[in-house]
Structure 1
Amino acid sequence: MSKHVIWILIIAFLTLTGYTDFAFGNEIKRQFFHPSSLISFENSKTELKEIYLKGNHRETLHCGCTFDELLQVSSNICAHSPQSFATQPASKEFVEWVHAMPLQEIGEKLKCRTEKSCSTATAPQNSDRPCCNQVSPKFKIIQADMHNIFPSIRSSLAPTHSNPSFGGMEEYKLCATSDTTLPLPHIRGDLARAYFYTSIQYRIPISAELENNLRTWHYQDPPDAWEEKRNTLIETVQGNRNPFIDHPELAERVTDF
């Protein structure tokens, strides 16, 4: 068999096995992606607070609830009229910083939650955040990446959600209308682009069903002025941008996240 035929067979095999998708992802990463300089989630939270305050966008992601310099949220001052809050007396809740692609999902994909060394760590085995922080330097970098972090309500009024697909979904339950399982339409693109960024930047695969939904959201909810401004403000701190905000068409070049 000639070398020419052998190379044809090799290329065909790589194509069928999805290697070309991986290669396209790598090519996009080389051209458009740069590493984050942050490695501390605590520092990221401090920086994000300043970004949202100085950027004059003091709103939580899902319900659009206004927060102040102390990260206090007035439960009756929200853009999307939380239903559960409507029946509650006015109270002060606090913002917490949540990950669009949840840390639980990231820990499972990195397999750091099931490392044997976790059982000897101070945190119990399969505990995502404390354990992965101890055994996975990559997890710590992902955890600190501000492109995947958004403000949400840390509220005792928020119903629990056993396995949220997106960070802050507990807050969304407060302002849901008819559909209580999906984020509001005006932030779906934001979440999709955070997922795409995290997937390419850190090689975290996305399930086919979720990827299809995220692609739809990405096209239906393009980047708005705040998302673009936030991208620039984050760059000034951690030194990189989310290319899917600057170049939405990049999503078409990745056939499998």
Structure 2
Amino acid sequence: MRLSALPLLLAACFSIAFAKVDPEAAPQHYNYRDASKQMKRIYYGDLQETLYCGCKYMDKKHIDFSSCDFKPRYNPKRKSNKRAESIEWEHIVTAHNMGHFLPCWQEGGRKNCSANDTTFKIMEGDLHNLYPAIGEVNGDRSNFMYSQWTNDPEPMYGGCKTIVDFKLKKAQPREEARGIIARASFYMEKTYGVKLSNQDRKLFEAWDKMYPVTEKECERDRRIFKVQGDHNPFVYEKCPH
């Protein structure tokens, strides 16, 4: 996976918020920490729903499990499961896939890249690639690539249709998330040069066709434009204007 020269141009052109965030500031790109402060400007009303399980939530600490029949995954070695009770901002294209080949990652991993690499900061905080997820499911997905291997998934999280194969290190998202994932992945490739494998490209092209853009996805793109100042063209071009 290689980055094109485009990120360097983006790094020079985009303003990144490192100081205190003004919620009324002009559109701009943020680092991950400050991007997380913008989420309430995007995810409210009908969009206040998790990616992998479709659960409604009131805020980061209050998720309505009854709205999606979610149940935390049983693990006898785990005394408590606080991550199942909180919302986290999931990278659809993972931080590892964005940065593991960068010098900053090789010298100190994600923490080093987040602190010292301008290009990585822009990628890590890009709102088009961030989506609310239940912390447990986000953690289980880890750095695994997306896949599709069964039409009859055995539930892992109650009624949630997303499943994870820990042995093969892959995650199968529920159908409602697949088109979103495909179009976010296309955006990250086009914008930052984060290349897709041939296998992933074929899968995402299929998902893009099978699960077309919805009005919710269009509204999310419109809200991100107001905050960040750009559209995901793989969504925007399919939305009514």
1:52-96 CA distance string (max 9 Å, x none): 12x43221111011111354213x3233x335469xxxx971101
CA drift at 1:243 = 0.4
Distance 1:71 1:112, change over 3 A: same
Distance 1:173 1:100, change over 3 A: farther
Equivalent residues in 2 for 1:156-235 (5 A)?
160-161=140-141, 163-165=143-145, 173-174=156-157, 175-176=160-161, 181-235=171-225
Task: Report the identity percentage.
Answer: 26
Distance 1:246 1:83, change over 3 A: same
Partners of 2:197 and 2:55 in 1: CA distance = 31
Partner of 1:143: 124
- Asked if the contact 1:62–1:187 (Cα under 8 Å) also holds between the matched residues in 2, the reply is yes
Partners of 1:227 and 1:153 in 2: CA distance = 19
Partners of 1:112 and 1:58 in 2: CA distance = 34
- Superposition TM-score, scaled by structure 1 size: 0.66
Partner of 2:28: 37
Partner of 1:50: 41
- Asked if the contact 2:99–2:105 (Cα under 8 Å) also holds between the matched residues in 1, the reply is yes
Determine whether 1:78 maps to 2:58: no
- Asked if the contact 2:140–2:164 (Cα under 8 Å) also holds between the matched residues in 1, the reply is no
Partners of 1:151 and 1:232 in 2: CA distance = 17
- Asked if the contact 2:53–2:70 (Cα under 8 Å) also holds between the matched residues in 1, the reply is yes
Partners of 1:68 and 1:104 in 2: CA distance = 29
Equivalent residues in 2 for 1:236-247 (5 A)?
236-247=226-237
Partner of 1:97: 89
Distance 1:158 1:38, change over 3 A: closer
- Asked if the contact 1:107–1:113 (Cα under 8 Å) also holds between the matched residues in 2, the reply is yes
Would you tell me which structure has more helix in proportion to its own residues?
Answer: 1
Partners of 1:239 and 1:205 in 2: CA distance = 24
- Asked if the contact 1:63–1:78 (Cα under 8 Å) also holds between the matched residues in 2, the reply is no
Partners of 1:51 and 1:163 in 2: CA distance = 25
User: Structure 1 counterpart of 2:91, which letter?
Assistant: H
- Asked if the contact 2:47–2:220 (Cα under 8 Å) also holds between the matched residues in 1, the reply is no
User: Structure 2 counterpart of 1:139, which letter?
Assistant: F
Distance 1:173 1:135, change over 3 A: farther
Distance 1:96 1:158, change over 3 A: closer
- Superposition TM-score, scaled by structure 2 size: 0.70
Which blocks of at least 5 consecutive residues in structure 1 are unaligned? Answer: 1-21, 27-33, 119-124, 167-171, 249-257
Structure having the higher Rg: 1
Partners of 2:162 and 2:90 in 1: CA distance = 22
Distance 1:85 1:67, change over 3 A: farther
CA drift at 1:134 = 2.8
Q: CA RMSD in A?
A: 3.3
